Amino acid sequence: MAIIMLYFMAILLALSLPLELEGWWTVQSIAYGVVVFSLFVQAPLLEPLVKQLQRRGHLRADTPEA
Protein backbone atom coordinates (compact mmCIF):
# COMPACT_ATOMS: atom_id res chain seq x y z
CA MET A 1 0.00 0.00 0.00
CA ALA A 2 2.87 2.37 0.77
CA ILE A 3 4.31 1.94 -2.71
CA ILE A 4 0.98 3.00 -4.24
CA MET A 5 1.18 6.20 -2.21
CA LEU A 6 4.64 6.87 -3.62
CA TYR A 7 3.30 6.48 -7.17
CA PHE A 8 0.40 8.76 -6.29
CA MET A 9 2.78 11.38 -4.90
CA ALA A 10 4.99 11.22 -8.02
CA ILE A 11 1.99 11.85 -10.26
CA LEU A 12 0.71 14.67 -8.03
CA LEU A 13 4.09 16.37 -7.97
CA ALA A 14 4.39 16.10 -11.74
CA LEU A 15 0.90 17.55 -12.21
CA SER A 16 1.65 20.44 -9.85
CA LEU A 17 4.45 21.81 -12.04
CA PRO A 18 3.66 25.27 -13.39
CA LEU A 19 3.16 25.48 -17.14
CA GLU A 20 5.65 28.35 -17.26
CA LEU A 21 8.44 25.98 -16.19
CA GLU A 22 10.63 25.09 -19.12
CA GLY A 23 10.53 21.35 -19.69
CA TRP A 24 7.41 20.65 -17.60
CA TRP A 25 6.15 18.25 -20.26
CA THR A 26 9.38 16.26 -20.10
CA VAL A 27 9.24 15.97 -16.31
CA GLN A 28 5.60 14.84 -16.43
CA SER A 29 6.35 12.29 -19.14
CA ILE A 30 9.25 10.84 -17.16
CA ALA A 31 7.16 10.62 -13.98
CA TYR A 32 4.32 8.85 -15.79
CA GLY A 33 6.77 6.51 -17.51
CA VAL A 34 8.42 5.51 -14.24
CA VAL A 35 5.06 4.85 -12.57
CA VAL A 36 3.71 2.82 -15.50
CA PHE A 37 6.95 0.82 -15.77
CA SER A 38 6.88 0.06 -12.05
CA LEU A 39 3.25 -1.02 -12.07
CA PHE A 40 3.28 -3.14 -15.21
CA VAL A 41 6.83 -4.53 -15.31
CA GLN A 42 8.33 -4.60 -11.83
CA ALA A 43 5.23 -5.42 -9.77
CA PRO A 44 4.36 -8.72 -11.53
CA LEU A 45 7.98 -9.88 -11.19
CA LEU A 46 8.26 -9.20 -7.46
CA GLU A 47 6.34 -12.22 -6.15
CA PRO A 48 8.23 -14.81 -8.28
CA LEU A 49 11.52 -13.19 -7.25
CA VAL A 50 10.67 -13.44 -3.55
CA LYS A 51 9.64 -17.10 -3.94
CA GLN A 52 12.87 -17.88 -5.81
CA LEU A 53 14.97 -16.21 -3.12
CA GLN A 54 13.12 -18.12 -0.39
CA ARG A 55 13.72 -21.44 -2.18
CA ARG A 56 17.43 -20.72 -2.50
CA GLY A 57 17.71 -19.73 1.15
CA HIS A 58 18.63 -16.11 0.53
CA LEU A 59 15.42 -14.91 2.15
CA ARG A 60 13.83 -16.39 5.25
CA ALA A 61 10.27 -17.64 4.83
CA ASP A 62 9.17 -15.92 8.05
CA THR A 63 10.19 -12.50 6.75
CA PRO A 64 7.03 -10.36 6.66
CA GLU A 65 5.97 -9.38 3.19
CA ALA A 66 5.33 -5.73 2.43
pLDDT digits (tens, 9 = 90+) for 24-33: 999 999 999 9
Write the CA distances from 62 to 8, 14, 33, 47, 59, integer angstroms: 30, 38, 34, 15, 9
**pLDDT tens profile 11-66:** 999 999 999 999 999 999 999 999 999 888 888 888 898 899 888 888 776 656 65
Element (H, E) at 20: none
What global pTM score does this model have? 0.63
pLDDT at residue 65 in the model: 61
Nearest-angstrom CA–CA distance, 59 and 55: 8
Alpha helices in the chain (DSSP H): 2-15, 24-37, 43-56
